Amino acid sequence: MSYDLLLTRIKERLDALGLSERKACLQADVGINTIRHIRVRGHAPKPAALAKLATALGVPPAYFLDAAGGDPASDTLKPSVAAVSTVYVKGAVQAGVWQEALEWAPAEWQPVYVPEDQRYRDVDKFGLLVRGTSMNKVYPEGSVVIAVRLNDLGRMPRSGERVVVLKRMDKDSGMEATIKRYEVDAAGRNILWPESYDPLYQTPIILDDVANNIYHDGKDADHACCQDLDVCAVIIGSYRPE
């Protein structure tokens, strides 16, 4: 069995924390060669050891267990064949709220379990918590949307898709993460539409005007006057806790 995904995730955390494999094992109170034996010999790690490593490296245990096909209630690892996959909620989207980054610290990631989408089986997926009212016709506050980055898909958004948009109103403000419906209209214009009952979020963003520095007057909280805009991901599904 290959543990490439598990080793990639471990290496990401080691690099982020500036730790060696040996130092991480010591901090986790597992065998000092635990990671090396996975990497060099392909040894199947014990779920309990992976859970300790995850905690020591600041991520939820499921982040490593899922990558290794592990069951925390079992003492063995097995290939994951279930039709349900683990996706981590890594941040939040909320129009009108400026933030340092779209993504939370890894220790704050929260797992959700969603049906495997065969269209994106080999593409990294992430979840975002929806806050506010800017897309409440489709995603009420508290919903979780599942997204994939357009860079990972190697394509531009397609008309009709809902997308994650990062925008900045001026050079001194933070980035605002929001969701819009992308459409190409009859005139060939690229437009981002809000889908909200809130009067504050009714005006579309016309991407062609933004690219050409054509700014529109208006007091709408979500109008097109943004200096910096990035359509970074496409929504492939959503989840709403009861």
Q: How confident is the model at residue 223 (pLDDT cuts 50, 70, 90)?
A: very low
**pLDDT-based confidence at residue 60 (cuts at 50, 70, 90):** confident
In this structure, the answer to whether residues 130 and 214 fall within a common structural domain is yes
In a domain, 77, yes or no: no
Q: Residue 98 belongs to a domain with what CATH number?
A: 2.10.109.10
- C-alpha 17/C-alpha 22 separation (Å) is 13
CA distance 53 to 64: 8
Q: In terms of domains, do 112 and 232 share one?
A: yes
Is residue 79 in some structural domain?
Answer: no
Which pLDDT value is given to residue 154? Answer: 92
Residue 75 located in a structural domain: no
Q: What confidence tens digit (pLDDT) does each residue in 183-207 have?
A: 998 888 899 988 899 998 888 888 8
* Residues 158, 185 within the same domain: yes
Q: Is 74 part of any domain?
A: no
Q: Are residues 101 and 17 in the same domain?
A: no
Same-domain pairing of 11 and 105: no
Greatest mean pLDDT among 40-49, 185-194, 212-221: 185-194
State how beta strands 228-239 and 162-168 pair: antiparallel
In a domain, 56, yes or no: yes
Total domains in the fold of the chain: 2
Residue owning tokens 């990972």: 152
The answer on 161 and 101 residing in a single domain is yes
Q: What is the pLDDT of residues 150-184, one digit of tens each?
A: 999 999 999 999 999 887 756 666 677 889 999 99
Write down the pLDDT at residue 75.
46
What pLDDT sits at residue 101?
65
102 in Cβ contact with 166 (< 8 Å): yes
Q: Residue 159 sits in which domain range? A: 85-239
In angstroms, the Cα distances linking 80 to 7, 60, 111, 137 are: 16, 18, 16, 36
